[in-house]
């Protein structure tokens, strides 16, 4: 088992790792739209926040030796399911391989963000 940690993605805001690699698979913690350099939430609508989340995921994938093309499953949490179409517009630009996915509305997310996404990916 290997812990994944990069300063190019937000540091954990609780007792967890950015990701864990075990048996050739990366299990990444959910990412919210935090700007890694400042630790602040990026201001903006679902499109702006979803893009930041995907950029954070990209850095964790890179650190793990993986990439968006190796993601096999995502779980997406939206604070408002009415944002589904706008979220998908951003999501599909990053997850072009169309991994398996769950997407649900939740009553609240950490720091009152609009979106959180976690991934499971193969690691070379």
Catalytically active residues, by annotation: 103
Distances in Å between the Cα of 108 and the Cα atoms of 1, 21, 65, 105 are 31, 28, 32, 9
Q: Phi-psi category of 65—alpha, beta or left, where left has phi over 0 and alpha has psi -120 to 50? A: left
- What radius of gyration do the chain's Cα atoms show? 13
């Amino acid at each position: 088992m290997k812990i994944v940690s990069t300063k190019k993605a937000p540091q954990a805001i609780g007792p967890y790792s950015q990701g864990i690699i075990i048996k050739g698979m990366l299990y990444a913690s959910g990412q919210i739209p935090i700007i890694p350099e400042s630790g602040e939430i990026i201001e903006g609508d679902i499109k702006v926040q979803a893009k930041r989340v995907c950029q954070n995921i990209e850095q964790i994938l890179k650190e793990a030796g993986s990439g968006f093309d190796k993601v096999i499953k995502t779980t997406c949490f939206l604070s408002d399911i009415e944002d589904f179409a706008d979220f998908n517009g951003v999501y599909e630009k990053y997850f072009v391989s169309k991994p398996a996915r769950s997407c649900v509305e939740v009553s609240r997310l950490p720091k009152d963000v609009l979106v959180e996404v976690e991934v499971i990916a193969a690691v070379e």
